[in-house]
Every structure is written in C-alpha cells, then in structure tokens.
C-alpha cells in the first residue's frame, strides 16, 4: 500500500507528465528518509531516442527522479510545506548499472546536512536491490512567496 499516491505526490511537487518520474512513495520517515518507486516502461518518451534498438534510461533522468523524491521528502517537512525546492548541485554521482524497460527503480533518499533553507540529501537508485546510481544532491528551498 503506497504511503503517497501519484495524485498526492503532485500535491507536493510541481512536476507533471511527461516529467514526473515516479509512481508512488513506498516508505517515508518525515525529516529523515523516503523510498519512492518508478516503474520503467518502454512507453517512456525518452526511449524513442535513447538508444534506438537498445533502450536505456538516461542517467540525467535517474538523477532527476532522485531529485523529485528528495523534493517530496524536503517539502513534507513542516518548515518547508507549501514551498518549492530546487536542486543546486550534484556531488559524487556514480552510474553503476543500466536501467532498462521493465525495471522497477527504487529511489532511496536520506537527509544529509541541513542549515536554514538549504542542505543536502544522500540518494541511491536501486534495481533488484542493486545500486544503479548514487550521489549527493544539494538543494535550496525558496522563501515563501506569500510573505513578499
């Protein structure tokens, strides 16, 4: 049973089709960690050109999927509710396994450092329990626009 459905995810982050890269949130410990799931299918737009005859999910979209999962975790925190999170950097990105149609991509995110409205998250995308991609993502949360 999902902790958050796709509709509930869209209530938290602004991403929509064709750039919403997760189907549901499987686990979440507020202010600590999240596991979200992306079912990778041959119907994804990006498979038309990456790579014809040998479809592979682009690494940049795996990172984007992880950033979206991170945004859900960040924006579920009471101090950031209703705001927008932006990725500001990527450190130590490693791509260890190709992600192909039929894979279930599990997006693991854990809070790293946090200071005021910025911080980092440790991210890992796994397929069948094996690491496909890992990195540290830096983020900033935009100030509340209603108080300007």
Active site residue 50: yes
| Sheet of strand 33-39: strand arrangement | 24-29, 33-39, 104-115, 118-127, 130-141, 85-95
Distance CA 44, CA 147 (A): 39
Phi/psi region, residue 44 (left: phi>0; alpha: psi -120 to 50; beta: rest), is beta
Sign of the torsion angle spanned by Cα atoms 112, 92, 69, 148:
positive
DSSP, collapsed to helix, strand or coil, labels residue 59 as helix
Q: Which of 15, 31, 33, 50 is catalytic?
A: 50
**Residues marked as catalytic:** 50
């Amino acid at each position: 049973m999902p902790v958050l459905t796709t509709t509930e995810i869209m209530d938290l982050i602004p991403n929509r089709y064709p750039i919403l890269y997760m189907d549901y949130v499987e686990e979440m410990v507020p202010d600590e960690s999240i596991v979200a799931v992306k079912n990778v299918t041959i119907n994804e737009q990006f498979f038309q050109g990456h790579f014809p005859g040998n479809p592979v999910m682009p690494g940049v979209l795996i990172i984007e999927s992880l950033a979206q999962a991170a945004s859900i975790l960040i924006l579920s925190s009471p101090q950031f509710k209703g705001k927008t999170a932006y990725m500001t950097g990527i450190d130590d990105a490693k791509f260890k396994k190709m992600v192909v149609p039929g894979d279930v991509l599990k997006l693991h995110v854990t809070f790293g450092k946090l200071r005021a409205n910025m911080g980092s998250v440790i991210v890992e995308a796994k397929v069948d329990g094996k690491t496909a991609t890992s990195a540290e993502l830096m983020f900033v949360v935009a100030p509340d626009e209603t108080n300007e």
